[in-house]
C-alpha cells in the first residue's frame, strides 16, 4: 500500500472524527477513530513515531473534548507504549486479539484520563466513558480490518 492511500485514509478518519465530535453527543456512541490511527501507527511504526503520534493525537483529543489539556496526551501516550510493546507478542491476524487490543487499550487509556479528571475536576468514574466507546471502537476496528482488500490496503496480514 502506498503512502498516498494511507494518508488519504487518515484524512478521511480525521474528517469523520470531526463529524463524530460535532454531531454525536451520546457518550456511549463516541467512537474514537483517531485511536484506531494510533493503534495502527503503534503496531506498524517505530517506538518514537508511535509515541509522538500518540501524544499529538492525545493533545488534539484534549482540544476537541474541551477539557484539561494534557490528560489525553498522557493517557494516549501510555496506551501507545503498551500497544507498541505488547503487539509483538500478539497474533493480530486473529480478530479476537485485535478486538481485545483495541478495546482494552482504549479502555485503559480512558480509565487513566478519567482518573485524572476525577482528581482534577471531581468527575465520577464513568462506565459510559470507560466501557462503551472502547467496545464500539473495537468492533469498528475489527470490521475495518475484516475484508481482505482492506487488510491488503493497510498491509496487515
Partner 1 sequence: MQQNGISTERKTFILVGVLFLNLILISTNVVLENRKSLLQNILGSLASPFQIGFQKTVDFFSYELQHYVFLKNAYERYARMKDKQYQLKLENYYLRRQIENQAFLNKAKKLSKNFIEADVVSVDRNFPLNSVIIDKGSRNGVKSEMIVLNTDSELVGKIVEPITPFTAKVRLITSSVGGVGAYLSKNKLEGLLTGDNSSICIFKYLIENKPVLIGDQIVTSGTDEIFPPFIPIGKVVHIEKEYLIQNVYVKPDFLGKSIKKLLIINGPNHFINE
Based on the shown chain and the rule CB under 8 A, indicate whether residue 58 belongs to the binding site for partner 1.
yes
Instruction: Give the integer Cα–Cα distance in Å for 134 and 140.
Output: 10
Residue closer to partner 1, measured from CB, 27 or 120:
120
Q: What cell was used for 132?
A: 462503551
What ranges make up the beta strands (E) of 29-111?
none
Based on the shown chain and the rule CB under 8 A, indicate whether residue 55 belongs to the binding site for partner 1.
yes
Contact 9, 37 (CB under 8 A): no
Grid-cell match 503512502, residue found: 3
The CA-based angle 18-31-112, given to 5 degrees, is 105
Based on the shown chain and the rule CB under 8 A, indicate whether residue 66 belongs to the binding site for partner 1.
no
Residues shown for the chain: 157
Based on the shown chain and the rule CB under 8 A, indicate whether residue 64 belongs to the binding site for partner 1.
yes
Which of 32, 39, 53, 74 lies at the binding interface for partner 1 (CB under 8 A)? 74
Q: Between 5 and 34, how does the x/- string for binding to partner 1 read (CB under 8 A)?
A: ----------x--xx--x------------
Residues in touch with partner 1 (CB under 8 A): 15, 18-19, 22, 46-48, 51-52, 55, 58-60, 63-64, 68-71, 73-74, 77-78, 81, 116, 120
Amino acid at each position: 500500500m502506498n503512502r498516498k492511500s494511507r494518508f488519504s485514509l487518515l484524512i478521511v478518519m480525521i474528517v469523520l472524527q470531526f463529524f463524530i465530535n460535532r454531531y454525536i453527543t451520546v457518550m456511549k456512541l463516541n467512537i474514537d477513530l483517531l485511536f484506531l490511527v494510533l493503534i495502527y501507527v503503534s503496531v506498524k511504526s517505530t517506538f518514537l513515531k508511535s509515541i509522538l503520534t500518540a501524544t499529538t493525537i492525545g493533545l488534539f483529543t484534549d482540544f476537541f473534548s474541551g477539557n484539561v489539556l494534557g490528560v489525553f496526551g498522557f493517557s494516549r501516550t501510555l496506551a501507545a507504549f503498551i500497544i507498541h510493546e505488547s503487539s509483538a507478542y500478539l497474533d493480530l491476524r486473529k480478530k479476537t486479539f485485535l478486538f481485545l487490543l483495541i478495546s482494552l487499550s482504549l479502555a485503559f487509556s480512558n480509565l487513566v484520563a478519567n482518573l485524572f479528571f476525577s482528581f482534577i475536576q471531581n468527575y465520577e468514574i464513568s462506565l459510559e466513558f470507560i466501557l462503551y466507546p472502547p467496545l464500539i471502537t473495537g468492533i469498528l476496528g475489527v470490521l475495518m480490518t475484516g475484508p481482505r482488500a482492506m487488510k491488503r490496503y493497510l498491509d496487515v496480514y
